[in-house]
Structures are given as structure tokens and as C-alpha cells.
Amino acid sequence: MPLIKSISGFRGTIGGRPGENLTPEDIVSSVAGYGDWLIRSGAKPLVVIGRDGRPSGPVVSALTAATLQSMGIDVIDCGLATTPTVEMAVISRGAGGGIILSASHNPKEYNALKLLNDRGEFISHEAGQDLIATVRSGNITYADVDDLGSLENDESALQDHIDAVLSHPLVNVEAIRSAGFRVILDAVNSVGAISIPPLCTQLGVSCEVMNGTLDGQFAHNPEPLPANLKDLIHRMETTDADLGIAVDPDVDRLALVGPGGRWIGEEYTLVAVADYVLRHEPGPVVSNLSSSRALANLAETFGQPYHASAVGEVNVVAKMKEVRATIGGEGNGGIIDPRLHYGRDSLIGLALVLSHLATSGKTINELRDGYQHYEMVKDKIQLDPALDLEDALSVMEGLYPETPLSNIDGLKLDFPDGWVHLRGSNTEPIVRVYAEASSQQRAQELAQQVKAKFVELTQGSGE
């Protein structure tokens, strides 16, 4: 794929030509731009880095560290580490920022630089624009020989992360240990294999690992969706395990499978966690516009407000801070617990799910049965690159004068029995279409109705 330079970082496939893919030249220029921004912002010249298990990780990590050192910035290298581990290490080490080397759920040929501020959170939109402008200008100054940065390897960051999860006020370690749970983990041959099992061991949970070889050769498409997790689902069908767990390569998304191989999924990970948290610490909850309505329904049963943000972790975090949310996240299995840190974290997500199971005495299947049932469909519409999407969506609003809607991120239409969300892609000339209703058929109907109106309006064509 082409090299993508966005406010959240830099992403592309390894190899090819500079400016077209994620080549060594692009890695150096991008990291240098980040280093320049860090220095100009007045942040401490210390950056934490860490990588997931993909094959290009060691090369990308070495280039990243050397570039930062060449700018006079000290580097703490966590080595193989989850995204939330690096985020927490930025805070605990008092660093000025962090760089996560992971392309998340993308296949092994991809890699990316995810950029953090001194709070261990993704950099702001404004900072991202500033950084991209610097990279494009090439106006970078490197350090003299006497001012080069240092490199320190940090082998304790993961255990520090686990310790923080174990000491979390809502994680009921005693109840989990007493329950004698057995779980099965699909670690997709990445850093889930070195993070989830030790957490389980310290919680007294038996953990069987599938795809636990840390060679970056993903055993299947690494996005934690049911079509990619057939082996885990089958394993849950043939054992008496209490819970099946799937994480993506950098462990910021958590999907669940129940006894008998029942797909609980990613959308209901956040719902189950929020159910537990709200029983102990009531307060506002937040997810993005494309997440399931089930979370809003749950908040209503507890008499607590629900707030929706634009899609993207940085937007969810901003909304959580604004409303002082007690829990939040994204429907892709990303759990954000502000008591720990403002980042999606599968370790705290799993610990809270296990706490819920242990204290309620219910199975994950029984918990799922207690939540409002919805089905979601996803589609897309090809766009004429010359189309002004903002204008088109504004006209679409006028076609639904009686329908509650949100336009903070594309256009979301809230119908009595479901919703449809249209939003432009950041990387392709398409509009993504998300729809949810109580049945797959109804969700598909809503999606097609709205899609047809948009296509008619823009004189475009569907897929």
C-alpha cells in the first residue's frame, strides 16, 4: 500500500521506493520529524519505544532508536511490548513521548510508527499536522557528536504493566483466583503470547495458548473477527474452558468467545466491562459513533449518561476527559479505563471481564444474554475523488429532517430500530457504511436504504 502519513503516525508496507512505501528513508525522516516536534514542544528529550512481533520490527526499531539518538534524544527500548505497555511506560518513566512500532491488525508486510505525547496518549491533531509539515519540509537539525542520545533497554515494563493491572481498585484478584478459571488465548504469534499468559498466571487462571510463537508469522488474518478465529471457536466447542480470548498483534483489541464456541465478539467486550465497572463506580460512559447501541442501552439501565465521540482513540479519550467518564472505548474491543491510563488496553480489559465473571457467578454466555441484542453490517461506497464529501453529507442531512442525527464525524442517522453511519475513509476514495439493528436483515435493509439515497444524490455507484 502507499505510505500513509496521518496525524496518528506513519504506516505502510515494508520495502519498495522511498515516498511510496515504509522504507528506511521514510522511517528516518518520519522519526526525525517527530523528534524535532518533541524538542520544539519543550518536552523532556526522552522517548520510550516498543514493537510488536512482526518480522520487520527489529529493523524498524533500530532505525527509530538511532534516529532519535542522532537528534540528541535518549531512548528507552521496551523491545517486544504491547501498545498499552509502551503507553504506560511513557508515564512511569517520565518520558517526553513514545513511539509504538506496530501496524495493529494489518498483515505482516505492514508496519507503522504510532506517536505518543508525554501522557502516553496519541498526539493531537494539531501536533500531527505540525509534524507532517516538518517531515515534508525536511528542515531537520541533528545533534553534534557530543550531544548524541543514549539507549537503554527496559525489560521491566511489561511486569510493571501487569502489576498496575493487579493493583487496580476494580480488579478482584482474590475472586478470580478462587474461581479457578480456564481460558484459551489466540495470540496470533505476536506479543499477546508474552503478556496475557503471565497476567493469567498471576491471577491464578489456567491459560492455554494458540499461535504463541513469537515469530511474526501471523497464523491467520490478525484482525480479531469470527471469520479469522475459526480455530479458537472450534477449540472452545471441544473443551470445557470458561473463556476464549483473541487479541490483535499489539494487544489493544480484545475479542471474546464463550463456552461451546459462542462468538461474543468485540462490540460486547466493552459492554461487559462497562456492566462491571458501573456496578462499582457509576458515571458517564463513552464510545465512538460506530460502536454498538448496546452500550448506551446499558448506561441507561444504570441511570448513567452515554456520550458518543468521533471515531478514533484520540477522539474517544478527549470525550472521556471532557465528561469525566468512568469507562470508555471503541466497539472494536478497545477498553479504556482512566484509572489505569487513557489508552486501549486488553490486559485491563481481560482482568475486568474475569472480575465480572468471578463476582457474578455467571458465564460470559449468560452475561451476553442479559444485554440488548444487535447485529451490525459494514459496507462501502466508491467515491469520485473530486466529490466534496462534506457538502454531500450536508445535503443528506436535509433528506432526514425528522431523524435524530450526529455530524461530528461524517453523518450518523439514529432510527427508532437502528442506526446508519456514513464516514469518509482517511486512506481510500470511499465512504464507509456502518449499520446496526436487532437483526442482520434489518441492519442490511437500513444500510441499503441510506446507501441508495447517497448514491442517487451523488450520481455515484455502489460497490
- Burial class for 303, CB neighbours closer than 10 Å (0-12, 13-18, 19+): exposed
Answer yes or no: do 293 and 148 share one domain: no
Measure Cα distances from 158 to 19, 155, 202 in Å. Answer: 34, 7, 13
Q: Which of 61, 104, 190, 355 is catalytic?
A: 104
CA separation for the pair 153, 155 (Å, rounded) = 6
Residue 310 has a pLDDT of 95
Residue 68 has a pLDDT of 99
Q: Which backbone phi and psi does 382 adopt, to 5 degrees?
A: -70, 140
Taking the C-alpha atoms of 200, 206, 207 and 208 in order, what is their torsion angle to the nearest 10 degrees? 170
Q: Which backbone phi and psi does 301 adopt, to 5 degrees?
A: -65, -25
Answer yes or no: do 122 and 51 share one domain: yes
Question: Do the domain assignments include residue 463?
Answer: no
Cell 521496551 maps to which residue? 78
Q: Which of 134, 155, 176 delimits the end of a domain?
A: 155
Question: Do the domain assignments include residue 57?
Answer: yes
Answer yes or no: do 251 and 321 share one domain: yes
Cell 491488525 maps to which residue? 105
Answer yes or no: do 18 and 132 share one domain: yes
Answer yes or no: do 317 and 348 share one domain: yes
Query: Structural domain tally of the chain?
Result: 3
Question: Do the domain assignments include residue 61?
Answer: yes
Answer yes or no: do 225 and 251 share one domain: yes
Measure Cα distances from 239 to 204, 242, 255, 394 in Å. Answer: 19, 9, 18, 52
Answer yes or no: do 402 and 433 share one domain: yes
* 3 state SS for the chain: CCCEEECCEEEEEECCCECCEECHHHHHHHHHHHHHHHHHCCCCCEEEEEECCCCCHHHHHHHHHHHHHHCCCEEEEEEECCHHHHHHHHHHCCCCEEEEECCCCCCCCEEEEEEECCCCCECCHHHHHHHHHHHHHCCCCCCCHHHCCCEEECCCHHHHHHHHHHCCCCCCHHHHHHHCCEEEEECCCCCHHHHHHHHHHHCCCEEEEECCCCCCCCCCCCCCCHHHCHHHHHHHHCCCCCEEEEECCCCCCEEEEEHHHEEEECHHHHHHHHHHHHHHCCCCEEEECCCCCHHHHHHHHCCCCEEEECCCHHHHHHHHHHHCCCEEEECCCEEECCCCCCCCCHHHHHHHHHHHHHHHCCCHHHHHHCCCCCEEEEEEEECCCCCCHHHHHHHHHHCCCCCCEECCCCEEEEECCEEEEEEECCCCCEEEEEEEECCHHHHHHHHHHHHHHHHHHHCCECC
Answer yes or no: do 21 and 91 share one domain: yes
Question: Do the domain assignments include residue 233?
Answer: yes
Q: How many Å separate Cα 122 from the centre of its chain? A: 11
pTM of the model: 0.94
Answer yes or no: do 437 and 361 share one domain: no
Domain that holds residue 181: 161-369
Residue 155 has a pLDDT of 94
CA separation for the pair 11, 3 (Å, rounded) = 6
Retrieve residue 352's grid coordinates. Answer: 475486568
Q: Which of 131, 155, 179 delimits the end of a domain?
A: 155
Residue 148 has a pLDDT of 98
Cβ pair 115, 18 in contact under 8 A: no
Retrieve residue 366's grid coordinates. Answer: 449468560
Q: Which amino acid is at 317?
A: V
Retrieve residue 363's grid coordinates. Answer: 458465564
Q: How many Å separate Cα 211 from the centre of its chain? A: 21
CA separation for the pair 35, 47 (Å, rounded) = 9
* N residues, the chain: 463
Answer yes or no: do 23 and 41 share one domain: yes
104 has catalytic annotation: yes
Q: Which of 155, 179, 212 delimits the end of a domain?
A: 155
Q: For position 168, which CATH number holds? A: 3.40.120.10
- Burial class for 266, CB neighbours closer than 10 Å (0-12, 13-18, 19+): buried
Answer yes or no: do 297 and 281 share one domain: yes
Answer yes or no: do 381 and 362 share one domain: no
Q: For position 382, which CATH number holds? A: 3.30.310.50
Retrieve residue 374's grid coordinates. Answer: 444487535
How do the pLDDT tens digits run along the chain, 463 residues long?
567 777 678 999 999 999 889 999 999 999 999 999 999 999 999 999 999 999 999 999 999 999 999 999 999 999 999 999 999 999 999 999 999 999 998 899 999 999 999 999 999 989 999 999 999 998 999 999 999 999 999 999 999 999 999 999 999 999 999 999 999 999 999 999 999 999 999 999 999 999 999 988 999 999 999 999 999 999 999 999 999 999 999 999 999 999 999 999 899 999 999 999 999 999 999 999 999 999 999 999 999 999 999 999 999 999 999 999 999 999 999 999 999 999 999 999 999 999 999 999 999 999 999 999 999 999 999 998 889 999 999 999 999 999 999 999 999 999 999 999 999 987 678 899 999 999 999 999 999 999 999 999 987 444 4
Question: Do the domain assignments include residue 420?
Answer: yes
